[in-house]
Structure 1
Amino acid sequence: MLLDHGERILTASEAIFRGTGTKLSGKVAGIHWHYGTRSHAPELTAGYYNTRFRDGYLPIASMFARHGVIFNFTCIEMKDWEQPGDAQCSPEKLIKQVILATRKAGVPLAGENALPRFDQDAHNQIIRNANLRLPEDSGNTTVEPMCAFTYLRMSQHLFHPENWRLFVSFVRKLAQGQATSNSWEQEHRDTDKFVHAGGPMVQEAAALLH
């Protein structure tokens, strides 16, 4: 039913936006709860027919590929060990499954963070996942990283001086495709340039969010 609905929506979207140069993307929820169980009940409840014996994301990725739609996935910042142990969550394994499905289907992948995170650990996890290599790549050097990333979300917390400094550094590293090899001192100096240059804009944005 979910795939049938997707076909109807994407067919209509193609007809509306054809020839406009608009990039379409489809959001797929990162339902990682009980991913480690045989049944994957939360995913099934949401309509994603993904179990231990069936890949539920490859059909979605293939549908997006047929319609030229970007596959947009969430929970990119999450790590397995951060989740409640008794819930058998595994966002990391889920992300790897989705990345593999998009590569098999030949569809671009975009990402989002699920929670408002401002710490460097979350930023580094996003960078790793945005450029993740899988054993199934078999040495393929042409594997594309995520085509886009949406950082959620703008708030007063983001514009706290230390959070903003970390965010500026994160954006620079994400644009470069990996964590920089610069020393801490050099990275701090480089980030400082952007922090100070954007100071007035940041103050204005923070004031508007009050």
Structure 2
Amino acid sequence: MLHSRMPSIRHILFAHLVSSMCSIPLPRWVVEEIDCNPDLAYTDKHGRRNYEYISLGCDTLPVLKGRTPVQVYADYMRSFRDAFKDLLGDTIVEIQVGMGPAGELRYPSYPESNGTWRFPGIGEFQCYDKYMLSSLKAAAYSICKPEWGLGGPCDAGCYNNWPEDTDFFRREGGWNTPYGKFFLEWYSGMLLAHGERILSCAEGIFRSTGVKLSGKVAGIHWHYGARSHPSELTAGYYNTRFQDGYLPLAQMFGRHGVILNFTCIEMKDYEQPAEARCSPENLIKQVVLAARKASVPVAGENALPRFDEEAHRQVVKNSRLTYEDDPHGTVYEPMCAFTFLRMNQNLFQADNWRHFVQFVRHMAEGNTNVGEIHHKASELIHVTQPLVQEAAAALA
């Protein structure tokens, strides 16, 4: 990953990933511990285990050779800080703190790697390991409803269902009943508590090092148009037609001074399958507004490898959102940084590189004069040609 300082306060990061299926497994010794105690892994209602991340249900229990998972995470962060102390604040200016699968603060509700889930399935709740079930049981007993603590909703369907296939997620389904609200508050509350623990550790460990901290929230835009927002609910975001699930997340990030990193910044609604009621544009607006209310800076990234002007234009637009609720028409710039995925040979093709240079200048200068940007970009394309050839050869 390369970091490029821009003329404005905005930073652009360039990420080179081989494919969208990036696999960074847990350390071998942790996998061995899970093999001995499978309940350390997230578990769905069918008993399938997920090895992407340790279940947050055991965050504070000494299940890893006498240490808690949070202690292990903290030890790793301290080791990183000590090993790279001479680079922190200068060469390393930001550290993204992983808080779940793919580094995102969420449950692994839509596992892609083994074909269990396919877009745009609603996913499944991940609360069936013994530690999560113990917490759910205690929460149910605390409100004198022990029957609500036996497991997740039994009518929430399977990974590849759609909302109306299920009694829980359909328009007037169980998600909006007293039981549904209880379960979703507990499930999302567990995720928020996990984020608090991890970010609290990170804040203390990297304090006074000069680096900024960021954390990633998933851009789950499919079925956003459904009242229940099922795909967000199974991932742990209690966001529905009647409930803002992103303000509590933003407030939690704000308490620790952490940048909120969000994806799907390049997407438009009309590009998505209409029947899945996707709305990345409205989702981005909701998340950015929540961050604004919590005074939290937002960093963005594209979800798909896009090299076209239309996607670049959408990124620029989302970096300068104006809200109708602001009587002064103030332009709020949510993106303090942007990560461009993916740096590969396609980026360095003539047309793609020309579009990209225009895009970078537009982001850096905040200039809306397309003609001027095009003229300046043409000059830069000529100047950077040797670097482009060198980069393309390195990625071959």
Aligning the two structures, in what range does the TM-score lie when normalised by the shorter sequence?
over 0.9
Indicate the SS of the match to 1:3.
helix
Query: 1:20 corresponds to which letter in structure 2?
Result: T
Query: 2:326 corresponds to which letter in structure 1?
Result: D
Correspondences of 1:117-136 after superposition (within 5 Å) = 117-136=306-325
Correspondences of 1:1-210 after superposition (within 5 Å) = 1-139=190-328, 141=330, 143-182=332-371, 186-210=372-396
The offset of 1:143, in angstroms, is: 3.2
* Distance in 2 between residues matched to 1:142 and 1:30, nearest whole Å: 23
Q: Judge conservation of contact 1:127–1:179 (CA < 8 Å) in 2.
A: no
* Distance in 2 between residues matched to 1:167 and 1:181, nearest whole Å: 13
Choose between structure 1 and 2: higher strand proportion.
Answer: 2
The offset of 1:43, in angstroms, is: 0.5
Larger radius of gyration: 2
Q: Judge conservation of contact 1:33–1:42 (CA < 8 Å) in 2.
A: yes
Name the CA shift for 1:122/1:142 in 2 (closer, same or farther; >3 Å). closer
Query: 1:162 corresponds to which letter in structure 2?
Result: D
The offset of 1:142, in angstroms, is: 6.9
The offset of 1:175, in angstroms, is: 1.1
Indicate the SS of the match to 1:151.
strand
4+ aligned runs moved over 4 Å, structure 1: none
Q: Judge conservation of contact 1:35–1:90 (CA < 8 Å) in 2.
A: yes
Q: Judge conservation of contact 2:239–2:245 (CA < 8 Å) in 1.
A: yes
* Distance in 2 between residues matched to 1:152 and 1:179, nearest whole Å: 23
Indicate the SS of the match to 2:321.
coil
Unmatched segments (≥5 aa) in structure 1: none
Q: Judge conservation of contact 2:322–2:329 (CA < 8 Å) in 1.
A: no
Query: 2:277 corresponds to which letter in structure 1?
Result: Q
Indicate the SS of the match to 2:212.
coil
Question: Taking structure 2 as the reference length, what is the TM-score of the superposition?
Answer: 0.51
Q: Judge conservation of contact 2:362–2:373 (CA < 8 Å) in 1.
A: no
Indicate the SS of the match to 1:26.
strand
* Distance in 1 between residues matched to 2:305 and 2:366, nearest whole Å: 22
Indicate the SS of the match to 2:375.
helix
Question: Taking structure 1 as the reference length, what is the TM-score of the superposition?
Answer: 0.95
Query: 1:21 corresponds to which letter in structure 2?
Result: G
Choose between structure 1 and 2: higher helix proportion.
Answer: 1
* Distance in 1 between residues matched to 2:205 and 2:329, nearest whole Å: 36
Aligned counterpart, 2:61: none
* Distance in 2 between residues matched to 1:77 and 1:124, nearest whole Å: 8
- 1:18-57 Cα shifts (integer Å, max 9, x gaps): 0001100111110000000011110011111111110000
* Distance in 2 between residues matched to 1:31 and 1:13, nearest whole Å: 26
* Distance in 1 between residues matched to 2:326 and 2:353, nearest whole Å: 35
Give the aligned length: 207
- 1:42-92 Cα shifts (integer Å, max 9, x gaps): 001111111111000000100011100001110000000000011000000
The offset of 1:177, in angstroms, is: 1.9
Query: 1:52 corresponds to which letter in structure 2?
Result: R
Q: Judge conservation of contact 2:322–2:331 (CA < 8 Å) in 1.
A: no
* Distance in 2 between residues matched to 1:180 and 1:95, nearest whole Å: 25
